[in-house]
């Protein structure tokens, strides 16, 4: 597995599409530098913090080993007579213990990555499925995220933690082989139960890498080159997909032209055009006057899939997400007897995801999907 050289950490400079862990989730803020995707970690939905607000990771609880989202920090309640300093110290120690358990103790399911990008003291791993027209003919980038266990994602053979023909690898391979103008990147975290700030930061790093790769060959002229972005995620990866889409959409703006001051993307017009969740672990909570999680996603397409027999993420979670998204172009697909992994619906899901991802692009011969 090779390391790509554009991974950065908290010391990111202008011109980087990367997430500082201290800034995840609130878009470009006052402290952001030109060309940097900056955010406020306190508004990362699903953050490992008992005090987080907004949408959160939905699931069955922190002790579960299933793909139900990441564990929340166990904020121990101290007696009222205890010194406030002790309370703060206790909370800090528990957060540090949780981060250690999350990021260092349990390796993710097998994932034979092509490359990895380093950032925030860790890395995100990826497999690339480039279109036949890459780089000059790339018209869209699709990025896939697994559940809390990492690895290859859903629709594995029952009982297996690895399947080379799982859903995401099959869809990405099919899109590439069929000649669509889409570069696909499948991602995995190196350790189970990643912090949401890390996972969204990793998504931004992979997207930045993919955009630079696609823009390596730019024809002469003043015309901006349009590149669409689609995020796809299963379980916890569904939450990562939604939050990454919201962040990237706000960073590049409605017209997709706010990245002009980013080195290598001066002539790119980048727009988030789609999100797809499969048993997505996103619990929607009411928006506030200060923050509306989904405001930037009003113009996208959304495919929201749930198995009605999922015992990890309640199917109701997907329905709530469907109702909360402000876009008019959305589909709520319920798979009868579908479990959390959705293996029994693999064939149908291959067609659904392929059709959704390629809806706005062409094949090598110039034909639409």
pLDDT tens, position by position, 24-75: 433 322 223 234 343 444 444 443 332 232 334 554 333 333 333 333 333 3
What does the radius of gyration of the chain's CA atoms come to, in whole angstroms?
20
Which is more confident, 361 or 355?
Answer: 355
- Average the pLDDT over 272-285 and give the result: 93
What is the C-alpha to C-alpha distance for residues 29 and 219, in angstroms, rounded to an integer?
A: 33
Q: What is the pLDDT of residue 290?
A: 58
pLDDT computed for residue 27 by the predictor: 30
Q: Which residues contact 173 (CB under 8 A, 6 or more apart)?
A: 129
CB 22 within 8 A of CB 252: no
**98 burial level (CB within 10 Å; 0-12, 13-18, 19+):** buried
Band the pLDDT of 21: cuts 50, 70, 90.
very low
Q: Shortest CA distance to 228 belongs to which of 206, 209, 252, 205?
A: 252
The count of C-alpha atoms lying within 13 angstroms of the C-alpha of 331, restricted to the half-sphere facing its C-beta, is: 14
- What's the whole-number average pLDDT of the chain? 78
pLDDT tens per residue, range 226-266:
999 999 999 999 999 999 999 999 999 988 999 888 999 99
Q: Look at residues 238, 258, 211, 223 and name the one whose alpha carbon lies nearest to residue 117.
A: 211
Q: How far is CA 95 from CA 48, 100, 115, 150, 152, in A?
A: 8, 9, 30, 22, 28
Distance CA 300, CA 252 (A): 14
Query: Cβ neighbours of residue 159 under 8 Å, at least 6 residues apart?
Result: none
Q: Is the dihedral of CA 152, 154, 160, 164 positive or negative?
A: negative
Q: How confident is the model at residue 121 (pLDDT cuts 50, 70, 90)?
A: confident
Q: Please name every residue paired with 184 in a beta bridge, in sequence order, or none if there are none.
A: 129, 142
Tell me what pLDDT residue 84 has. Answer: 39
Q: Which of 148-162, 279-293, 301-315 has the lowest mean pLDDT?
A: 279-293
The pTM of the full predicted model, rounded to 2 decimals, is: 0.78
The CATH architecture assigned to 115-357 reads: 3-Layer(aba) Sandwich (3.40)
For tokens 């297996």, name the residue. Answer: 160
In 3D, which of 237, 205, 246 has the Cα closest to residue 44? Answer: 246
Can you tell me the mean pLDDT for 300-327?
97
- Cβ atoms 250, 297 nearer than 8 A: no
How does residue 168 score in pLDDT terms, banded at 50, 70 and 90?
very high
pLDDT recorded at residue 85: 40
């Amino acid at each position: 597995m090779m390391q790509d050289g554009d991974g950065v950490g908290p010391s990111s400079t202008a011109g980087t599409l990367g997430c500082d862990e201290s800034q995840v989730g609130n878009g470009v803020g006052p402290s952001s530098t030109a060309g940097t995707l900056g955010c406020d970690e306190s508004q990362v939905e699903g953050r490992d913090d008992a005090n987080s607000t907004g949408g959160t990771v939905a699931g069955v609880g922190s002790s579960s080993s299933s793909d139900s989202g990441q564990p929340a920090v166990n904020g121990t309640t101290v007696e009222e007579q205890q010194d406030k300093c002790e309370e703060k110290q206790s909370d800090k120690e528990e957060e540090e213990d949780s981060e250690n358990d999350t990021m260092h103790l349990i390796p993710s399911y097998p994932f034979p990555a092509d490359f990895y990008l380093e950032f925030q003291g860790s890395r995100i791993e990826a497999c690339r499925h480039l279109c036949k027209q890459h780089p000059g003919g790339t018209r869209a980038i699709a990025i896939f995220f697994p559940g809390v266990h990492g690895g290859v994602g859903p629709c594995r053979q029952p009982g297996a933690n690895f399947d080379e023909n799982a859903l995401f690898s099959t869809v990405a391979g099919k899109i590439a082989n069929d000649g669509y103008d889409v570069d696909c990147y499948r991602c995995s975290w190196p350790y189970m139960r990643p912090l949401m700030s890390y996972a969204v930061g990793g998504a931004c790093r992979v997207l930045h890498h993919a955009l630079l790769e696609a823009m390596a060959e730019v024809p002469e002229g003043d015309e901006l080159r349009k590149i669409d972005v689609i995020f796809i995620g299963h379980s916890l990866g569904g939450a990562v997909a939604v939050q990454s889409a919201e962040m990237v959409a706000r960073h590049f703006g409605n017209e997709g032209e706010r990245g002009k001051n980013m080195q290598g993307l001066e002539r790119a017009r980048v727009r988030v055009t789609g999100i797809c969740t499969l048993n997505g672990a996103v619990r929607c909570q009411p928006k506030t006057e200060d923050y509306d999680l989904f405001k930037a996603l009003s113009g996208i397409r959304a495919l929201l899939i749930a198995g009605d027999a999922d015992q990890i993420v309640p199917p109701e979670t997907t329905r709530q997400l469907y109702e909360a998204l402000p876009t008019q172009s959305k589909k709520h697909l319920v798979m009868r007897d579908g479990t959390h992994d959705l293996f029994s619906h693999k064939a149908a899901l291959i067609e659904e995801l392929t059709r959704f991802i390629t809806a706005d692009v062409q094949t090598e011969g110039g034909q639409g999907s």
